[in-house]
Structures are given as structure tokens and as C-alpha cells.
Structure 1
Amino acid sequence: MDIQIILTLFVLILTVFLFVTEILRSDVSALIVLTTLVILGLVSPQEAFQGFSSEAVIAIAGVMVISSGIQKTGLMIKASRYILDIAGRNEKRLVGVVSIFEGFISAFLQNVGSAALFIPALMRISGITGIPSRRILLPIGYAAIIGGTVTMIGSATLILVNDFLTSAGYSPYGLFDVTPVGIALVITGVAYFFFFGKYVLPESDNPESDPEQEKIVKSWNLVSSIYYVRVVGTGSLKGVTRQEAELSKNYNLHLIALLQNNDVLYAPWVHTKFSDGQILALMGVKEDVGRFCSDFGVTIVPGGKLADSMSNDLVGFAEIIIRPKSHVAGKSIYDLNFRKIYGLEPLIVFSGQSEESAEFSDRLLNAGDTIVAHGPWDNIRKISSDPDFFVTTHIEGDTYRRTKEKGALACFLCSIFLTFTGLSIAVSFLIGAIGMILLGVLSSHEAYRSVEWEVIVLIGGIFPISVALSDSGFASWISGFIGTYLAGDLLIFLVATGIVMTVSTIIMTNIASTVVFVPIFIQMSSDLGINPAPVALLAGICASNSFLLPTHQVNALIKSPGNYKNSDFIRAGFGMTVLFLVVSVGLIYLFYY
């Protein structure tokens, strides 16, 4: 055996050891592999660093920037709310509808980010419906992983496949060339949980930790139901001020927002007058809302835009403590113009052992008193910076750039369109990323921060091993060694490719598996007289077949909120892994050869 092959085998073993044991961060491990290859003379310094300028790295960075821009505008939050409204509260329907949508957005955006979009909403629905979150989050997480196979930018592994094909002298795949396989896999995943979910998904055996917002609701016995009523000209509420309506005193209701002329006003102050056409958001129990409607001649209506403004990602509850030596001590909620100045609706004032939830507007506040309030996260964030108050609640939500929605959407669609003009995926999405900056969706600093540099260094650092596998003759040697057993049977070769990639991506990162094995499969299939392109595509697809353990980033993301054990992933993931392998190998065999 040639010394170059022996040295390459040593580096390959070192690579597998570093990524399986995870004794170091993946990017550090990749840099160790890179420097080892240079020291042993398996690659030149120029070859060692060419991975950092590869099209795969540029494409992945571009996709990350575009994903961040779309997230910053809140476009996907709007879409996710719409989907959740369609899905309803039936478990099978909810899982099915959200999984299909999740698979779609993961085809274009980072699957970790797309999965994160739904977690808060699904946790809220779990609390409302009583459906254990453990039975919802796992199928949605799997759909996010599978969705990465719907387009050639859905996952980093497929972007790398194109790079390896180009380096080997083969034509890269177009953006949607993998879509038939990806769609079939998404449908398979949805069907799997629809028919077998009750057998493979965990029951609610583990005590689920309540999200902080639910803890606040339970600990203060808050009624968090919101009803929407319309003020009509013929009703007696028209022209009455909030103070005169005595909502809290007579009806135990809190007016948390109103919609007028298509504008949402949170926590309207006491002198706000009700006028024809306004829609009010009332927090309380349905019977009290009914009494209020009957007394004032108003009716309950769908919330529409106002209901959208009540989403958990935009508003929430907060516990606010009056600091010692605060300037607000000795003043009342009314004196402070609390609603008008802070844009928050006070629900409860707790002082000493006394708790008031109705008539507390004129009660003087003392240092140490707690105000439980409801309102936009932006306003809670502002009051948290006021030296007179201390907010004990974790502030959630993001500040979305609603005015930049059209610009972000245009950049995204433009990137996809450019791939049809003959431009490479890397150039197309780089143009889209630049557009995000030029249109002000992201600042240049935010664009840099949106790139996951650990992933970039991982890809650039481990990329030279593909050069060493080829130049040292290792790929040809292993091809000749194994090829004699697989020659003449395409299906067996494809099955072997799928199994190797599935196993390796479970014990290593999917990127490392792709960089190590795809060049070998390209060389091996070429030596056997098999078209390497579909083999490489299958390898890239099966690098996403990572359901058995929480090694994939999406699985790691949902593990904590779903209180999952490794055994939960094994139980649900085994069947999904087998089906994924069968469908992907079968479709590549039938339609790509």
C-alpha cells in the first residue's frame, strides 16, 4: 500500500475519532484535520484553504443572511400564525398541517430557525388544548429536518454535493432537481406520524416544565382568555370613556387593547372614548363579557388584526417590582398615567399580603409592591430600563422590522429567480444577501453576525480532506477494494450508500459525513461505470437521515422544551429512519437512472 494512502487513512481515522468523540468543538476539529493534512504533505497550503472560497461556503453564508433578514421582519411569524389558525386544535390535523408547512419553509431557510418559529406557539396550544407538547414538537422537528431535502439549498450537505460534483467535472444540480424526492419524504414523514404517531410518540409521562408565562398565569390565578367586541353606533358604549365604563369594577374585565382606523392601541388610558367601529380586546371570563355586551349593546366579533397583535411573540405578562427609593413610591397608578406612559395594562397590584385585581388605580404604591401587567414585549423592555422598576420576568419576543417585509421578500424571491437564469446557487443567494443590506433589512454588522462562523470554519477546514482522498489515491484504492463486491448491482450499491451515510451522520456531524464520504462515493461509482451524480445526491439526502438521536441541531433544539429522553428519539426515529432510507433509495433508483 502506498505511503500516501496510509497517511490519508490515518487522517481519516483521526477525523472520525474527533467528530465521534466530540472532545473538541467541530470547527476546532476541522482545523486540526486541515493542519495535519498540510504537515503530512497530503495537500498544499493553497489546496488546504481553497475550501474557504468554495461555492458551498458562499452559498451557505448567503442563505444564512437571507434567513436572518426574513426572520428580522417577522414575515415567518405572520405565516406561522396563519398556518396555526388553519391547523386548529386536533392533534393529528395540527401535526399534519404544521409539518407540511415546516417542510416547505425548511426547503429555503435554515431548518433550526424554521423549527424555532413554531415552538412558542405550539407550547401555547399544548397548554390550551391539553395535548402534551411531547407529542407535537418531535414530528414538527422531524419535518424541519426532512424539509432540508426539498431544494438544493435546504441543507448544507446538498450544497456541498454540488461543490463536489463540480470539482469532479460533473454538472451541478439545479435548485429544484431534488424536489421530487424531498416532497415524497415530507409526505412520508407526515403519513408516518398520522398512522403510527399514537404508537411511537411518547405519552406525557415526564412532568413538563411550564413556560414562564404559564407560571405567571397560574401563580396569580389570572384569566388569560381574550374576547373581541365591536362598538356600534346604536349601542350605549359610544361616547363613554374607559373610566366611565367601569370595566374592572362592574365586570371584572381588563381592556388590554383596541383597534381603531386599523391601528392597534395597547392599554388605552382611562380617558379614552369609545367610538363607532372600534374593536376592543377584553381579558376575562366569557360570562362577564356577555354581561358587558348585554348592558352596552355590543357584540363579540372575530379579532382579525387585533387578534394577530395579541400573539405571544408580541405581547405577554410581566411581574414588575417597585424598587427601593423609587420615585414612583407614594404615587398611584392613576397619578403615574401608567397605561398612557408605559403602554401596559395593570392587572394586579400586590402589596404586603394584600392583592387587588379590580379597584387599585387610586391605591398608593410602596417600595417592594408588585404590579402584574400585560402588554407588548417592546413596552415591557422599555419599562425594564426604567430605574424606578425592576422586571423579574424574562422578556421574550423580538422587535420586528415590519416596514422591511417587502424588501426582504423581494430579496428572497429574487435569489430563487436568479437560479433559473443560469447563475450558480452561490452567486444567486449572495446577490440576495447583498440586497438585504442595500435595502436596509439588515445592517452589514447584522449580516456578519447572522452567519454561523462555526459552520463556515467546519466546512472550510474539513474540505481539504476531499482533496487528499482523491490526490493520494485513497478514493481509487477503496473503490477498487469495495467495488468488486458491489459491481453489477446498482440497487445494492445505492442501498450501501444510503446506509453508510445514515450511520455516519448519526455518529458524526452531517457536514463531516458529507465531506468524508461523498468524494469516495463519486470515485467509486465512476470506477464502477455508474453515473456519480445521483449517487452523490443520494448521499447528500441521506446525510439528513438523522432521527435516532438528538445529534442533529433541530433534535437538540426540541429536546429541552419537549422533555425528551434519548429513548424517545430512538422509539420514534427508528421507523422514520427506515422509511427515509427506503423512499430516498427507491426514488433515486427509479427516476434518476
Structure 2
Amino acid sequence: MTPEILLVMAVLVVAILFFIFEWVRVDVVGIIMMVALPLLGLVTPKEAISGLSSNAVVSIIAVIIIGAGLDKTGAMNSLARLILKFAGRSESRIVTLIASTVAFISSFMQNIGAAALFMPAAKRIGRQTGIPISRILIPMGFCAIIGGCLTLIGSSPLILLNDVMKISDPNVEPFGLFSVTPVGIALTIAALAYFILLGKFVLPSAEGEEAGGPMSAVLKDTYRDMGTLFELHVPESYDGPHSLEELAIRPHYFTTVVAVSHTGLKQKIFAPKRETEISAGDDIAVVGTREFVEKLAKNMGWEVREELVTFAEDLSPNNAGMIEAIITPRSELARKTMRAFEFRKRYQVNPLAVFRGNKVFVAGISD
């Protein structure tokens, strides 16, 4: 073996070790290799960056950009809601619906592109349902690969095999577009059945992953009695308007109003003030326990929605969340009430609770 071959093998081993132990991100490993190979004289600088001119690489980059764009515009959020509408919060139904959809799409486009297109929606669903994202992405990735076998154009190896067959023997009849479909369908069904029946045993539990929803796992442990996010609808029969101060929702129901949507005015108010009025037809986002939120809705004559509708995009984990802030001894907030400091007016955020002396205070916050 020549020194060059040994050097290439050494670089390859280093790259594999980086991938296995995840010392740095995968994209960083790729850049390191792209820089190391020309520095070692194994390839020319032009050859090192030639991969960036590959149609496959450019296509994958483009699809990822399109996926991010669709996510920012809210299209992926609508898709996530549609999937949850049919699949509910059942992990097996969600995995089946996403994986089968990606398998079908990958039969007509590159499987990496199909998977990249659905990644934002899969992440949103994982956050909303609390299902570890790896338990959704792994079945989706495998079904994207297998789904490419549903048609000839969905699988690069089959396309190459078709070309090789023509070159090696012109008399051999090439594959048609749907020649491999029966085999592809059987493989896809087998993959789906495997993940549905054995997924809970073979897929990683990913205990270190961030929990779903707008609150991190660490905060959930501390503020577990504070509740979660709900959306309420005020019917047309409501005898309002009434201000939030009049309704006294927080002291009576241990529930915080975080957003109000005046449907008639097409206006959304985040971090609403005490003077904000609730009128018929409005939608309200609140944080509280289900018990108190349902009690609030019953007493007020409001409707509790099963999921976020009006605020689905605004209060999605990509755009909103919960944080914990510590008041330092020299802070201008020290020894002042929320109301005296005009907390919401200054920062446009909703104070949900105060943690003091191993106790969480919700009702006593007045801002």
C-alpha cells in the first residue's frame, strides 16, 4: 500500500470516529475533512470543493431551505395540526401517518429531500405531543429510504442499475417506472409494521431530549402545578365586555391570561394589561391546570378548545416559550411589586409565577 492510501485510510478512520462519538457536529466534520484533504496533498483545492457543484448536494440544500421557509410561513404548523387531527396523540398512529406519507412522496423525489421537507412538521408534532423526536424521525427516515423503491425514479441505485443494464446488454429490456412497485409496497408495509409493533422496544427513549410544549423539562419539574397552555373561545352570547381586572381570573382560578384575540377587530394582544377587555367572539390563551381552566370556562360560559387554533402559530414552540429569571440583589425589580414596576408594559411578557422559599406563588401575583 502506498503512503497516500494509508493517509486516506487514516483520514477516513478519523472522520468515522468523529461521526460515532459526536465530538463535533456532522457538518463541522465535513468541513474539517474538506480542509484536511487538500492540506495533506491528497486532492487539489478545486477537487475538495467540487462536491458543492453536485446536483444532489444543491438539491438537498434547496429542499432544506424550502422546508424552513414553509415552517416560517406556518404551512408546516397547518400540516402538523392536520396530522394531529387524524392521528390524535397516539405515537403509533402519528408514526404511521408521517412515515407512510413520506414514503409515498419519496417515491417521486429523492428520499433525502422528502425527509428534509417533513422534518419541521415532525419536530412540531414531537413538541406538541411530548413524543421524543427521535421516535418519529427514525421511522420516517427508514420509510423515506424504502419508499424510494416504490417507483424507478425514487431510487438512485435503481436508476443507475437501469443504465448499467442498457450498457452491458442492449437486448435486455429496461425497468419501467412501476416495475419495482410491488416489491416497494411490500417493503414499505413491512417497515411500517415493524415500527408499529416493535417500535416501543427498539426505538430510543431519548430521555435527554427536551420535553414537548413551550416549557422545558427542568421548568416542568419545578413548576409542575402551574399547568399548561389552553385556548378559550368566548361565545356571541357573552354579556361583555368586561376587563381582566373585573374578571379577576388569576386570583380566583390560578390561571394567567397570556394573549387575547379580538376577532372582530382582527387584533391580537400579547401580555394583555388589566384594562384589556374581553368581548363576545374573542379568543383567549391562558396558562393553568385543566381543572381550573375548565372551571373558569364553565363559570364564564366560555368554550375550552382541544388544541390551539387562533394562537397555534403565535404561541408555537418556535415563536414563544417559558423561561425562568432570577432576581439578583441589585436588580431594580428587588422589593417591588409587579404592578409598581409595570412589568408587562415594560417587557411585553407575562409573569406566570414566583418561586420563593421552595413554594410557587401564582394567585398572589398582581401586575
Calculate the TM-score normalised by the size of structure 2: 0.69
Q: Is 2:278 the partner of 1:277?
A: no
The residue identity in structure 2 corresponding to 1:92 is: S
Structure 1, residues 372-408: CA drift from partner, whole Å, max 9, x if none?
xxxxxxxxxxxxxxxxxxxxxxxxxxxxxxxxxxxxx
- Verify the 8 A CA contact 1:64 1:110 in the aligned structure 2: no
Secondary structure at the aligned position of 2:325 is classed as: strand
Structure 1, residues 134-163: CA drift from partner, whole Å, max 9, x if none?
7555323433555677799989x77x969x
Could you tell me how far apart the structure 2 residues matched to 1:60 and 1:134 are? 21
Q: Is 2:319 the partner of 1:314?
A: yes
**1:113/1:293 Cα in 2 relative to 1: closer, same or farther (>3 Å)?**
closer
Q: Is 2:75 the partner of 1:78?
A: no
The equivalent of 1:241 in structure 2 is: 243
**1:224/1:140 Cα in 2 relative to 1: closer, same or farther (>3 Å)?**
farther
The equivalent of 1:36 in structure 2 is: 42
Secondary structure at the aligned position of 2:76 is classed as: helix
Q: Is 2:322 the partner of 1:333?
A: no
Greater relative contact order, per chain length (Cα 8 Å cut-off, separation 6+) = 1
The residue identity in structure 2 corresponding to 1:82 is: L
Q: Which residue of the other structure, out of 110, 118, 124, is the alignment partner of 2:122?
A: 118
The equivalent of 1:498 in structure 2 is: none
- Verify the 8 A CA contact 2:259 2:284 in the aligned structure 1: yes
**1:120/1:20 Cα in 2 relative to 1: closer, same or farther (>3 Å)?**
farther
> Which sections of structure 2, spanning at least 5 residues, go unmatched?
19-28, 168-176
**1:343/1:178 Cα in 2 relative to 1: closer, same or farther (>3 Å)?**
farther
Structure 1, residues 83-104: CA drift from partner, whole Å, max 9, x if none?
2332212232121012224444
Question: Equivalent residues in 2 for 1:136-215 (5 A)?
Answer: 136=136, 138-146=138-146, 180=181, 186-197=188-199, 201-202=202-203, 211=211, 213-215=216-218
Question: Equivalent residues in 2 for 1:504-583 (5 A)?
Answer: none
Q: Which residue of the other structure, out of 269, 285, 288, is the alignment partner of 1:265?
A: 269
Calculate the TM-score normalised by the size of structure 1: 0.46
The equivalent of 1:480 in structure 2 is: none
- Verify the 8 A CA contact 1:217 1:224 in the aligned structure 2: no
Shift of 1:275: 0.8
Q: Which residue of the other structure, out of 19, 32, 52, is the alignment partner of 2:12?
A: 19
Structure 1, residues 466-486: CA drift from partner, whole Å, max 9, x if none?
xxxxxxxxxxxxxxxxxxxxx
Could you tell me how far apart the structure 2 residues matched to 1:51 and 1:300 are? 53
Question: Equivalent residues in 2 for 1:433-448 (5 A)?
Answer: none
**1:49/1:141 Cα in 2 relative to 1: closer, same or farther (>3 Å)?**
closer
Secondary structure at the aligned position of 2:242 is classed as: coil
The residue identity in structure 1 corresponding to 2:287 is: M
Shift of 1:108: 6.8
In the comparison of the two structures, how many residue pairs are matched?
333
> Which sections of structure 1, spanning at least 5 residues, go unmatched?
1-5, 39-44, 169-175, 363-593
Q: Is 2:221 the partner of 1:221?
A: no
- Verify the 8 A CA contact 2:233 2:305 in the aligned structure 1: yes
Shift of 1:254: 1.6
The residue identity in structure 2 corresponding to 1:289 is: V
The residue identity in structure 1 corresponding to 2:194 is: Y
The equivalent of 2:310 in structure 1 is: 305
- Verify the 8 A CA contact 1:64 1:109 in the aligned structure 2: yes
Alignment RMSD: 4.6
Shift of 1:318: 0.9
**1:290/1:101 Cα in 2 relative to 1: closer, same or farther (>3 Å)?**
same
Identity of aligned residues (%): 28
**1:145/1:242 Cα in 2 relative to 1: closer, same or farther (>3 Å)?**
farther
The equivalent of 1:407 in structure 2 is: none
- Verify the 8 A CA contact 2:258 2:286 in the aligned structure 1: yes
Secondary structure at the aligned position of 1:322 is classed as: coil
**1:143/1:268 Cα in 2 relative to 1: closer, same or farther (>3 Å)?**
farther
**1:179/1:117 Cα in 2 relative to 1: closer, same or farther (>3 Å)?**
farther
| Structure with bigger gyration radius | 1
Secondary structure at the aligned position of 1:345 is classed as: coil
Instruction: Identify, as 1 or 2, the structure richer in helix.
Output: 1
Could you tell me how far apart the structure 1 residues matched to 2:304 and 2:58 are? 53
Shift of 1:315: 2.3
The equivalent of 1:396 in structure 2 is: none
**1:28/1:126 Cα in 2 relative to 1: closer, same or farther (>3 Å)?**
closer
